[in-house]
Amino acid sequence: MTDPIPSSFLPLSPDRYHLTVPLTEDIRLLNRMLGEVLREQGEGDLIELARRLTDLSHEEGAVPALVTERLPELADPTVARRLLRAFTVFFQLINTAEQKEIVRVNRERSTPLFERNHRETDPNTLPSARSESIPEAVYRLKADGLSAEDMQNLLDRLDICPTLTAHPTEARRRSVLDKLHRIAQALADRAMPSDLPRLDTPLADNVRDAETELRRILTALWQTDELRASPITVPEEARNALYFFEQTILDVVSWLHHDLRTALANAYPGHSFVLPSFVQYRSWVGGDRDGNPNVTPEVTWRTLLEHRRIILEFYQKRVDKLRRELTLGLRNVAADDELLASLAKDTAEVPLSPNRLTRHRAEPYVLKLLFIYERLQAAVRHVRTLSDLDRDHDGPPKDRHAYRDADAFLADLTLVRDSLRRNRAGVIADHGPLAALVVQAQTFGFHLAALDIRQHSDEHGRALTEIFEKAGLLSPETPYADLPEEEKLALLSRELRNPRPLIGRDADLSEATRNVVNVLDVVRSARRLLSSRSVLCYIISMTHEVSDVLEPLLLAKEAGLFRWQGGRCHSELDIVPLFETIDDLHRCDTLLRRMFSSPEYQAQLEARQRFQEIMLGYSDSSKDGGFLAANWALQDTQARIAEVMREFGLSLRLFHGRGGTVGRGGGRANRAILSQPTGAFGGRIRFTEQGEVISFRYGLPPIAHRHLEQIVNAGLLALSPHREGPSVAPDAWRNAITEMAAHSRIVYRQLVHEDPEFWEFYAEATPIKHISRLPIASRPVSRSGKRLTSVDDLRAIPWVFAWVQSRYMIPGWYGFGSALEWFAGRQPDHLEVLRTMYREWLFFRTVMDNAQMELVRAHMPTARWYAARTVDRELGERFHRRIADEHRRTAEWTMQVTQQERLLAHATVVRNTVDLRNPAVDPISLLQVALMDAQTDGEDDPIRNEAILLSITAVAAAMQSTG
């Protein structure tokens, strides 16, 4: 590669990859600036090292052993560490430039919405709308004939629930993320027209000003340590997740409501719609205790307090800002307006200073907002008094004027809004900060985001074994955990209806059992002291039997969250089974029928308005059965679950446990919604947002807005009675993919689960043992927390992470090519069947397109360097040939089915960005393998260990993916 800018960090020519002009310019600028900053920081030697290492990595026959032979400087791990840090920053800058470009392109495509309005000339013609936006969905539904009443009914059914998790797939520190976001803003400022009036700076030269800011932030970024000094704690994980609520989510949700109101007003002029809180967030961070002993009941309580504190302080800031705007005088308010009567009540209850009362007596809206602010401040003080959990405390806040709940706060905001409407200020009421604050209060309440509690099914069985023994119901010789399923059900059913508790609150229990019990006490306290919306569900990992669902119900009964009263059941929590393995997915409809037939669970359903949420695990199913088998099992399972729900007359919400990578269910969420089988989507959907996906989707408000508007667009269109495309795949297609999934599963399991030498290969040919030391998560990489010895004990995230690092990427494609080849070879017309499926069946097209992405990101020449690390070189070469052959087969058959000359030919922008990255990833991989090869068994060199960990973060940044 020629270097058009000698001062740049890498000899990269982005214009060779057919990127947009703005993106090409940004990459060239950042590459040059990084080189300049490195020289300023006395790190100019890294530029020459990076170029020589890059050249070496592209030589035919290059091997890691040549690194220290040809570049002896890199034998010093201190130098290697510095170089890897430079590569990491380089790719972080490239990623940031791409984010900024996404924002630019989306804004460019939206410009006509603000410049044209065809309704000015033809009242029957709607404005143009950007593809996959909320207005596009509304206008399409109106064009399809939906009346205003039909549209209201559709909106009432829409319930989209993104759920943030703490899964360890974000390798970057919060301080690093902050600086990258500021770099994106500086790039955007630099692109602003120089003649555009700037009111926020005395300088008129946008380019010079922005480049100075870029250099300043980049210098700070270089001098910021990439790795944390110690593993992240659960409270830190919670703060990191909550950061994105303050950064983007709170404002973007109100932005979506504005989009929808505007689109409805255009499509149905004169009609008034009631908008529900159609996007509501939840979180697992601080509540997910599956395999994480660090998530204690105390941590969960403090997390819930932090939720409430953050949202209350957010409201305070917005109310304070709003009262500076609503300075409308008393003469503009009718004498009999309800607002004025409320001020008299507030004056008697809220201790506002006489000076303020006098100063603002002629500004009723300012005065009302001052009272609102003081009530919020008192509510914040109440949160601080609850920092130490007292489970017996249920009294009111010490300050009697404090808001007890969000309903009272919302009532006051609504009073202000309605008064403005009545007094000829409707435009102020329905647009701008007040309208946004009303939406935020409706959506986020005083809980911010409901916190899910998740626990592994085995933990409930172990806890009840001890509790039943303490209660004298079972002896140590016949422990509960060893009972047959039918005996478990009989015991659970009897005790669920028994009003007496099994044990006293002060019972002598083991620490493990006490933690299982106490977290439900925390839930009870949170629902009473903080918000009834603070915790809404309890998720059971690895649900295999009906007893797995009744066990947490019995534990909830002990905490007073499930009870019988007057012959009726009262339950405060949704019980959510999580089906994760292929076998559990295949049999879950049978399990659900047995579950819903249980009289005790029927009572639970009645108490929850006959609503049932079911979670599907994408990660473990893929690790268990491979890419195609998992995708089809999940799709088929959704259809079978929907059928069971119809049989029992239940309302369903599917909760999709999707990861960031294709191998863990990643991909475009809107396509996943549109490709769901008939009956699986009734307007309600949940999905996880994990790791680096959170920072990518929610780091910048415009990207967060685009992500969510695409999901809302898909949700609206999927609910349409005029939905396009075949609602049910023909039996021939379903039979074809069922057979292919079964064949691919065999091929996958033969490699991963049945070959006795596979673990040896995986453990030596990937950096999995180093990933387990990366300080990016509060929970261990294995479910048991013990030393890794098999695939089964390894969590799905590090499983995928290691394959990304070694460039094999097998979780996103392995076995698919064999299945395509096998099916196409059975009958002469089968290839055409597959081509038709790809053209006409969105689900199959999505699966194939996702596989294409992973096939392109995989790189077998690089992967061979990792395979050669095995102690038994023949074993490593054997597995490498096996995987490489399947990669070649999958690529060839994918192109045959999609009728493309190269992979991702239908997505040239994505393909071009991958092509830009791949050559620059090779030197990092070569150095990573060389560092691992140079490490002797038992060596504990902290500098070399840090260099290896930095190589992992560098590859993660380059691949834009961890797990």
Which of 312-326, 593-607, 691-705, 851-865 has the weakest average pLDDT?
Answer: 691-705
Characterize the bridge pairing of strands 568-571 and 562-565: antiparallel
pLDDT grade for 677, boundaries at 50, 70 and 90? confident
- Confidence at residue 678, expressed as pLDDT on a 0 to 100 scale: 77
Please give the Cα distance from 660 to 675 (Å, whole number): 18
Residue positions counted in the chain? 963
Q: Is the pLDDT of residue 116 over 80?
A: no
For range 920-926, the mean pLDDT: 94
- Confidence at residue 120, expressed as pLDDT on a 0 to 100 scale: 43
| Residue 135 neighbours by CB under 8 Å, 6+ apart | 113, 127, 129, 259, 262, 263, 266
Contact indicator for 963, 691 with CB cutoff of 8 Å: yes
- Confidence at residue 581, expressed as pLDDT on a 0 to 100 scale: 85
The pLDDT tens digits for 570-606 are 999 999 999 988 889 999 999 999 999 999 999 999 9
DSSP string, 165-213: ---S---S-HHHHHHHHHHHHHHHHHTS-TTS--SS-S---HHHHHHHH
Q: Is the pLDDT of residue 726 over 70?
A: no
Q: Which of 289-298, 691-700, 774-783 has the highest mean pLDDT?
A: 289-298
Higher pLDDT, 553 or 962: 553
3-state DSSP assignment of residue 961:
coil
Q: Which of 257, 544, 623, 887 is catalytic?
A: 623
| Nearest to 741, CA basis, from 586, 577, 542, 902 | 586
CA atoms within 13 A on the CB side of 621: 31
- Confidence at residue 529, expressed as pLDDT on a 0 to 100 scale: 93
Phi, psi dihedral angles at 556 (to 5 degrees): -65, -35
Q: Is the pLDDT of residue 203 over 50?
A: no
Integer CA distances (angstroms), 828 to 253, 823, 832, in order? 52, 10, 8
- Confidence at residue 618, expressed as pLDDT on a 0 to 100 scale: 78
- Confidence at residue 550, expressed as pLDDT on a 0 to 100 scale: 98
Q: Is the pLDDT of residue 91 over 90?
A: yes
Element (H, E) at 41: none
pLDDT grade for 207, boundaries at 50, 70 and 90? low
| Residue 60 neighbours by CB under 8 Å, 6+ apart | none
Which of 228-242, 279-293, 441-455 has the weakest average pLDDT?
Answer: 228-242
Contact indicator for 309, 383 with CB cutoff of 8 Å: yes
For range 237-243, the mean pLDDT: 84
Q: Which of 142, 167, 257, 382 is catalytic?
A: 167
Please give the Cα distance from 620 to 797 (Å, whole number): 9
pLDDT grade for 662, boundaries at 50, 70 and 90? low
- Confidence at residue 173, expressed as pLDDT on a 0 to 100 scale: 67
The pLDDT tens digits for 634-654 are 999 999 999 999 999 999 999
- Confidence at residue 111, expressed as pLDDT on a 0 to 100 scale: 59
Which of 109-113, 627-631, 946-950 has the weakest average pLDDT?
Answer: 109-113
CA 381 to chain centre: 32
Q: Is the pLDDT of residue 865 over 70?
A: yes
Which of 647-656, 664-673, 933-942 has the weakest average pLDDT?
Answer: 664-673
pLDDT averaged over every residue in the chain: 88
pLDDT grade for 780, boundaries at 50, 70 and 90? low
- Confidence at residue 49, expressed as pLDDT on a 0 to 100 scale: 95
- Confidence at residue 797, expressed as pLDDT on a 0 to 100 scale: 78
The pLDDT tens digits for 481-490 are 999 999 999 9
586 catalytic? Reply is no
- Confidence at residue 616, expressed as pLDDT on a 0 to 100 scale: 92
pLDDT grade for 737, boundaries at 50, 70 and 90? very high
The pLDDT tens digits for 388-445 are 655 445 556 678 899 999 999 999 999 999 999 999 999 999 999 999 999 999 999 9
623 catalytic? Reply is yes
- Confidence at residue 82, expressed as pLDDT on a 0 to 100 scale: 94
DSSP string, 371-407: HHHHHHHHHHHHHHHTSS--TT--PPPSSTTS--SHH
The pLDDT tens digits for 347-382 are 999 999 999 999 999 999 999 999 999 999 999 999
| Residue 113 neighbours by CB under 8 Å, 6+ apart | 127, 128, 129, 130, 135
| Nearest to 654, CA basis, from 613, 626, 618 | 613
- Confidence at residue 910, expressed as pLDDT on a 0 to 100 scale: 87
| Nearest to 201, CA basis, from 186, 216, 215 | 186
The whole model's pTM is what? 0.89
pLDDT grade for 17, boundaries at 50, 70 and 90? confident
The pLDDT tens digits for 155-178 are 999 999 999 987 544 445 677 878
For range 697-710, the mean pLDDT: 91
Higher pLDDT, 872 or 235: 872
Integer CA distances (angstroms), 76 to 255, 303, 667, in order? 52, 43, 40
| Residue 429 neighbours by CB under 8 Å, 6+ apart | 416, 417, 418, 420, 421, 435
Burial state string for 288-322 with b = 16 or more CB within 10 A and e = fewer than 16: bbbbbebbbbebbbbbbbbbbbbbbbbbbebbeeb
For range 652-673, the mean pLDDT: 71
CA gyration radius, the chain: 29
- Confidence at residue 117, expressed as pLDDT on a 0 to 100 scale: 42
- Confidence at residue 399, expressed as pLDDT on a 0 to 100 scale: 82
- Confidence at residue 700, expressed as pLDDT on a 0 to 100 scale: 87
Q: Is the pLDDT of residue 224 over 50?
A: yes
Percent of the chain with pLDDT over 70: 89
Q: Is the pLDDT of residue 446 over 80?
A: yes
The pLDDT tens digits for 505-543 are 888 999 999 999 999 999 999 999 999 999 999 999 999
| Nearest to 360, CA basis, from 377, 348, 343, 375 | 343
Q: Tell me how many degrees the CA angle 67-72-76 measures, rounded to the nearest 5.
A: 95
- Confidence at residue 4, expressed as pLDDT on a 0 to 100 scale: 47
CA 618 to chain centre: 13
pLDDT grade for 121, boundaries at 50, 70 and 90? very low
pLDDT grade for 789, boundaries at 50, 70 and 90? confident
Q: Is the pLDDT of residue 247 over 50?
A: yes
